[in-house]
Structure 1
Amino acid sequence: MGDDKGDGSRMTERDKLAIHLAEETGITEEQARGLISMLGTDRNSLLREARVLRQQSR
């Protein structure tokens, strides 16, 4: 199904958020997970910091 990670476990909301954040901002999923760990799940804060991170890595 669409929610499977491939290993039989289901994706958490944080997993889904990391994937969407990475797709939307151009950062890696690993970077997105790091931001979520530091900032929590506030979408506006995550988007702001992800954009800053992307600019710094260029």
Structure 2
Amino acid sequence: MSDKNQTIPIVQKLVQETGIAEAQAYELALLIGMNWNSLVREAKLIRAAARAEVAQDGPPVEN
């Protein structure tokens, strides 16, 4: 890919469908490959872990 700002369509779709960050989706694609079911499964685990952390610690507080 010549333009670093260009996003892979599967990464965009993963972000839209699961709510994880684009950087997380891109890293998953690099680690797992382009298997959609595996990407979604791992993205859901990341999202669930983030929600559990917020539930345990509470929302971030600004100073």
2:27 maps to a residue whose letter is: G
Q: Is 1:42 matched up with 2:21?
A: no
CA distance in 1, matches of 2:27, 2:50: 15
TM-score between the two structures when normalised by the length of structure 2: 0.69
Number of aligned positions between the proteins: 48
Percent of residue pairs bearing the same amino acid type: 40
CA deviation map 1:10-57 (0-9, x unaligned): x57xx1100000000010111000000000000000000000000011
2:48 maps to a residue whose letter is: Q
Structure 2: 5+ residue runs without aligned partners?
Answer: 52-63
Structure 1: 5+ residue runs without aligned partners?
Answer: 1-8
TM-score between the two structures when normalised by the length of structure 1: 0.75
Work out which of the residue numbers 8, 11, 35 in structure 2 matches 1:18: 11
CA distance in 2, matches of 1:37, 1:53: 15
Over aligned residue pairs, what C-alpha RMSD do you find? 1.7
Task: Write out the 4+ residue segments of structure 1 that deviate beyond 6 Å after TM superposition.
Answer: none
| Higher gyration radius (CA) | 2
CA distance in 2, matches of 1:23, 1:39: 18
